[in-house]
Amino acid sequence: MISGGAVSDSKGSQLSSPKVKVDTKSAAAILIILFITALFLFIFFSRHVFFVPKILIVCLSLLVAAAAGRLTGFLRDWFLFIGFVYLFDSLRGSIFILTCQLDLPVYALYVIKAEKFLFGSVPSNLLQDWLLRVPEPSGLTWFEKLITVAHGSHFVAFLVVGLVIWLYKSQYFRFYKISFYLVIFLGLLGYLAVPTVPPWMAANIFGLLPRLFRFNAVIFNMVIPDITSGFDTNPIAAMPSLHAAFPILLGLIVWRMGRWKALPFYFYVLLMLFAIVYTGDHYMVDVIAGAILAGLCYGLALLMTKRDFATKEPTSHEQEIADRGRTKLVKSVIGGGIVLALGILIGSYNRQQFVRYPMAYSLYAPRYVDFFRKEADFQSNFQVQFYLGSYHFLRRDFHTALSYYEKSLRIARTEEEKKRAEGGLEACQKVLGSQSEKSE
């Protein structure tokens, strides 16, 4: 019998309609997959490649957490970590500012010597000679676009993988966070201790290598002019390569969780490592250092979270909230808010410095110590002589700058080089002339 929309059996008892249960975790996974699929389809079937800022991934993560009914848990588990990541981005720029202001040594030659010792040549040059059809924008193909997308995914991939771990393998999430806290902290120390010139700078700015076409920057800037200046706030942050350390660390974590089930992700790791060398952004030596750093941080995180895997996984999210209470949530929100505010303040200060004093933080501002220690080896190198003139000019040592600009003019081989040297000479003579007029 059917009565009032309910189904009754022969004895008159009502049988309620079956309820459809929604798997919130599956819904969250579908949202992630749809977003990433749509993003990559748009990139490959349009003429545009664009940069996906971390804030977009954070917003997506909030949406996924809300869909999964775990918004409070997201704030508790993620807010401090997100604040730390934002602070990391700001501190990269701060290290470059400190390097310029304190006149700290920046290194260029040791990595080139190491590359040639290990590989006989610099792999970035070998790859571009082999694969790049024409080293100009008109010669770019779908392959360079793919490499650019892979390269740019560095900024968000670790957050997306972290979100998946948080949703499906929550017992590994603390391990994930600690490993990334370590790799980011030690990576920043490396940037400060051993600031290093990347291959594209060594080739295109100083003439130490055959010219490299940094096509990823060209592709990004085709879509949004000067976008690379927004996330490339430290051009000498090459050693160790966090572009290598991040995906390798993720690969180690994913291997621990799923072994060969995550095989496609390991191909992504290899693609990223290939991309950062092919674009000329990193030496293979940087990649090796990044891999060592990733392995070290993975091992340290294992030791620090050993007890986490000795206990059973909590039976439910509600049980975990009931046991821990609101203390951790409050601490995370307050701590994350402080760290995030600090990151915003530092980032704002950095931007003001870069905008107000562009020459003070240009590529010619740091002290590339190799060119001072072995100046005799670069007597015929126009780019190095021009740099030495610019370095002294920025420090208001105009007489010394004048001599280097004169030397660079004498060895200039092209019209472009002559114009640059003449421009430096004219600027020096103008300043020196005004100084002599004031003294009289």
pLDDT digits (tens, 9 = 90+) for 255-280: 988 888 888 889 999 999 999 999 99
Report pLDDT for 318: 52
Q: Is the pLDDT of residue 301 over 90?
A: yes
Of 353, 394, 385, 373, nearest to 96 by C-alpha is: 353
Whole-number percent of the chain with pLDDT over 70: 76
Count of all residues that appear for the chain in the document: 440
Strand partners for 105: 367
Report pLDDT for 36: 52
Give residue-wise pLDDT tens across range 36-62: 555 555 544 444 444 445 566 666 667
Of 186, 180, 185, 188, nearest to 95 by C-alpha is: 188
pLDDT band for position 384 (cuts 50, 70, 90):
very high
- Which of 112 and 24 is assigned the larger pLDDT? 112
Q: What integer is the mean pLDDT of 366-377?
A: 93
pLDDT band for position 439 (cuts 50, 70, 90):
low
Which of 12-21, 84-93, 109-118, 399-408 has the least mean pLDDT? 12-21
> What is the residue-averaged pLDDT of the chain?
81
Q: Half-sphere exposure (CA, 13 Å, Cβ side) for 304?
A: 17
**Can you list the positions of beta strands (E) in 42-157?**
105-106
Q: Half-sphere exposure (CA, 13 Å, Cβ side) for 260?
A: 0
Report pLDDT for 15: 47
Report pLDDT for 212: 93
Q: Is the pLDDT of residue 222 over 60?
A: no
Distances (CA, A) of 337 to 56, 78, 330, 340, 391: 18, 11, 10, 5, 40
Structure tokens at 386: 């021009």
H/E element, 353: helix 327-356
pTM score, two decimals? 0.80
Report the Cα–Cα distance between both ends of the chain, in Å, rounded: 113
If one counts every other C-beta atom within 10 angstroms of the C-beta of residue 348, the result is: 11
Give residue-wise pLDDT tens across range 126-142: 999 998 877 666 667 78
Whether 190 contacts 239, CB under 8 Å = yes
Report pLDDT for 34: 58
